[in-house]
A and B are shown apart, each in its own frame.
Chain A
Amino acid sequence: MKRYNWLVAAAVVLLTALPLWLVAKPDGADGIFGGADGQAQQAIGEIAPDYRPWFAPLLQPASSEIASLLFALQAAIGAGVIGYWLGASVTRDRYRKAAEANNAAGRGVDAKAGGDAD
């Protein structure tokens, strides 16, 4: 199970990293790997050149640095919660196994029975 999980994680990393090599750099001045949301905005401009957005964001991040700060904050909050759960779960699992092993040893049964259920 452990190996299978590592393989899945490796597949995600590959899926994310491969496009960086596979996609050829375009000739134009346009950057590569821009946001799809922004491209859709451009497409709207091509389809309906007269359309004017009628509402502006209340708050604009002061710069792209600030925007990346806030995105990092969003990810950090999420990762913190998941990390807390994972840590608490692993510890709970360890204590539970230790308690079971103690009980089993007390009754003279093989403490290793059961083992790692995946």
Chain B
Amino acid sequence: MHIMEGFLPLGHAVGWSLASAPFVAWGVHSLRRGLRERPERRMLLGVAAAFSFVLSALKLPSVTGSCSHPTGVGLGALLFGPLAMVPVGLVVLLFQALLLAHGGLTTLGANLFSMAVVGPFVAAGVFRAARGIGLPLAGAVFLAACLGDLATYLTTSLQLAWAFPDPAGGFAASLAKFAGIFAITQLPLAVSEGLLTVLVVNALARFNAEELQDMPLFAGRGARA
């Protein structure tokens, strides 16, 4: 999902940066307030950030014969709410853009929007809907992380198709091309991310049951389960 440095036209680069900026400010604000109120959550936030660090470093082979990586932001979005993952995603993307020449500063806004805004918000929304229709916790976590991951890669495809419409087929042909590269490759990886997120949530449910009880998305799960 990393759009490479310099590979978005200037207008798009500026536009996506402007679109992401308020989420960064809002995310930092909400994360700070959350930690001030509950400093004991620092450990679990560290786990959520670490999960994203690991997963976005692992480039996995896929059925399309190419490699891509999960994003790992779904877990934190379920625990701390989607906004908390914006600063986390920013740290991950900056590390990769500055040290690894993977992604870039001019495309940071666009990459941040797909990985740290769309992904976490879709994950949180899917989780809420899945619990709402009565799915068990593990199923809801799996769907949320899996679809959040896919949504990130679809967003990248949309961003690229918008910036580079096909000269013959326009936006749609271009979208098909980029989605073919990103979204299809991502299918098995998204399943893997969903399963890994379930594993971590199982461990959390066993070892950190009290902390989970008053997490926004897990609160009151007894009532709905």
Q: Could you list which residues of chain A lie within 8 angstroms of chain B, going by C-beta atoms?
A: 1, 4-5, 8-9, 11-12, 15-16, 18-20, 22-23, 26, 32-37, 39-41, 43-44, 47-48, 51, 53-61, 67, 70-72, 74-75, 77-82, 85-86, 89-90, 92-93, 117-118
Contacts and interface: CB of A to CB of B under 8 A. Distances in A.
A90 B102 CA distance: 36
B199 A37 contact: no
B60 interface: yes
A97 B209 CA distance: 14
A89 B199 contact: no
Interface string B56-83: 1111111111111000000000000000
27 contacts: A1-B206, A4-B202, A12-B195, A15-B189, A19-B62, A19-B63, A19-B188, A23-B65, A33-B61, A33-B65, A37-B68, A37-B102, A40-B178, A47-B167, A56-B5, A57-B101, A61-B99, A67-B101, A74-B56, A77-B50, A78-B51, A80-B50, A81-B49, A82-B47, A82-B50, A82-B54, A86-B203
B130 to A, nearest CB: 18
Contact of B100 (A23, A47, A67, A78): A67
A85 B181 contact: no
A48 to B, nearest CB: 5
A8 B146 CA distance: 14
B53 A33 contact: no
Interface string B22-43: 0000000000000000000001
A1 B198 CA distance: 12
A108 to B, nearest CB: 27
Per CB-CB distance, the 9 closest pairs between chain A and chain B, nearest first, are A53-B6, A78-B53, A78-B54, A89-B207, A81-B50, A57-B101, A55-B6, A75-B57, A78-B50
Q: Which of A4, A18, A78 has the most CB of B within 10 A?
A: A78
A48 B68 contact: no
A75 B58 CA distance: 7
A34 B198 CA distance: 28
B182 interface: yes
Given A15-B188, A36-B66, A82-B47, A77 B195 contact: no
